[in-house]
Amino acid sequence: MIGPKDKTVLVVDDDASHRTMIRAHLEEEGYRVMEAESGSSALEQVSAGAPDLVLMDIRMPGGSGIEALKAMKKGFHLLPVIMMTAYGSVESAVEALKMGALDYLQKPLDMDELLIKVDRALFFRNLELENVRHQERLNQRFDFSNIVAESRAMREIFETMALVAPTDATVLLLGESGTGKELAANAIHQNSRRKDRPFIKINCAALPETLLESELFGHEKGAFTGAVSRKKGRFELADGGSLFLDEIGEMSPATQAKLLRVVQEHEFDPLGGIRPVSVDVRLLAATNKDLENEVKEGRFREDLYYRLNVVPIRIPPLRERPEDILPLLNHFLGVYARKNHRSIQGFDAQAVSLMQAYHWPGNIRELENTVERAVIMCRSEWIRADCLPPQLRIAPCRDDIIRRAGVTLKEAEQELLEKTLKLTGENRTHAARILGITRKTLQNKIKEYGLG
């Protein structure tokens, strides 16, 4: 606990002898003491350098302590204020407490009571300030509110992102299309020291090679037919901030070589330029390809791969984190119900079961499109199975069991149970509904096969 010598008490009273008496007792306990003879003077001192505690008389000439208290609580709501009253009226004390005073003392003061209340007020203020600082640190380090996820796999990814975000390390985001790699890149930038600087994005698969090079590095006037003026590239636009290169696995070998130079030397030559341009850019890259295999096949430069693969983060597909399906469904339902001005309460049990059982090859992007379609097609307050696209209604299980020669019915049943429990995140109620059996029957089967 922080000791009295670290704390300053502002004593506000128009009676100089009374202030002197309080000062003597507080200083004897090790507190630093400031004095003010009026509410206005107290406000000036609080604004100039906020004390840790204010001890203020209720009645003073030139404005009551209540008025000063109101002003203090507006600008310094965490500042504890203890009021002093010579009248002993319950009304004045209650009014002060309503206005935000922490406590009150009755004159003539009992000095032992004063010291106890001062010590207690400062103790709780210290706890409150520490809580605020702790929350700020959490918000600064771990603000991934733009990503909807509850699974353990995603929580572990959040921890990695929280560690890497404040650094300048290059991050390589790996995962299938639609898993949320761009959202992750955005969250890393927003939690970095560059968050107030540009965050520039480019999809390397969306542009032909010649145009991609110009988009990345810019060009000078006259560099090619149609280059009527100088154009800054994405690297130059991202100077001081972050550049997100999506689908980097689609980049041609020639462009890869130019990118490698920027990563190594932090400079590049615009098309048609004669002087290199230096930049300070944090690189975030993403791909749905297996870059290690691309390197082995000679389609991706090994040296560039190792430059990009400083901190790899693999975003798992939706089928590997079924716990995230329901939160995502509810999130997108809220988004598209508002967008389409629809009053929809939610999904019925059958619709939820079908969507939790589906394998989602298009991942979150496909789920989002499915919810948007369902909102549009829904004619009641609840989204039912008939509002879902056909592929969800005819695929009751995420992974079909392959009927191999020599597999017994019992073995197939056990495999089906295992897969269904996995895809529902061990939610036995949902698993039983998908399998078309009662929860009690499922529990008996789990016990029979030793799955629980």
CATH class as words, domain 4-138: alpha beta
Paired with 382 in beta bridges are: 346
Going by the DSSP 8-state scheme, the letter that residue 425 receives in this structure is T
Contact residues for 337 (Cβ-Cβ < 8 A; gap 6+)? 343, 344, 375
Judge whether residue 400 has pLDDT over 50: no
Residue spans of the domains in the chain: they are 4-138, 152-316, 319-393, 409-449
Please write the tens of the pLDDT for every residue from 299-349: 999 999 999 999 999 999 999 998 899 899 999 999 999 998 888 888 888
CATH architecture of 319-393: Orthogonal Bundle (1.10)
Q: Considering the chain, what percentage of its residues have pLDDT values greater than 70?
A: 88
Q: What is the pLDDT of residue 136?
A: 53
Q: In angstroms, rounded to a whole number, what is the distance separating the alpha carbons of residues 280 and 240?
A: 5
Judge whether residue 399 has pLDDT over 50: no
Please write the tens of the pLDDT for every residue from 175-190: 999 999 999 999 999 9
Nearest to 372 by CA among 332, 325, 344, 318: 332
Q: Environment class of residue 83 by beta-carbon count within 10 Å: exposed (0-12), middle (13-18) or buried (19+)?
A: buried
The correct answer on CATH 1.10.10.60 for the domain covering 409-449 is yes
Please write the tens of the pLDDT for every residue from 58-116: 888 766 788 889 888 887 878 899 998 876 566 777 788 888 888 888 888 889 889 98
pLDDT (average), residues 408-420 = 78
Quote helix, strand, coil % in the chain, to nearest 5.
Answer: 50, 15, 35
Q: Where are the alpha helices (DSSP H) in 29-61?
A: 39-48
Q: In angstroms, rounded to a whole number, what is the distance separating the alpha carbons of residues 243 and 308?
A: 13
Q: Which of 131-145, 234-248, 322-336, 369-383 has the lowest mean pLDDT?
A: 131-145
* Residue 132 banded pLDDT, cuts 50, 70, 90: low
Q: Where are the alpha helices (DSSP H) in 142-200?
A: 152-164, 181-190
Shared fold status for 152-316 and 319-393: no
Nearest to 24 by CA among 13, 36, 11, 12: 11
Strand intervals (E) in 318-422: 346-347, 382-383
Q: What is the pLDDT of residue 284?
A: 97
Pair 281, 238: CB distance under 8 Å = yes
Please write the tens of the pLDDT for every residue from 278-288: 999 999 999 99
The mean of the pLDDT values for the chain is 85
Q: What is the pLDDT of residue 77?
A: 79
Strand intervals (E) in 220-305: 242-246, 267-268, 277-278, 282-287
Choose the CATH number for 152-316 among 1.10.3720.10, 3.40.640.10, 3.40.50.300, 3.30.450.40. 3.40.50.300
Nearest to 192 by CA among 235, 154, 157, 240: 240
Q: What is the pLDDT of residue 402?
A: 44
Q: What is the pLDDT of residue 401?
A: 45
Q: What is the pLDDT of residue 63?
A: 65
Q: What is the pLDDT of residue 352?
A: 86
Number of neighbouring beta carbons within 10 Å of residue 16: 10
DSSP calls for 64-129: -HHHHHHHHHHH-TTS-EEEEESS--HHHHHHHHHTT-SEEEESSP-HHHHHHHHHHHHHHHHHHH
Contact residues for 172 (Cβ-Cβ < 8 A; gap 6+)? 285, 286, 287, 291, 308, 309, 310, 311, 312, 313
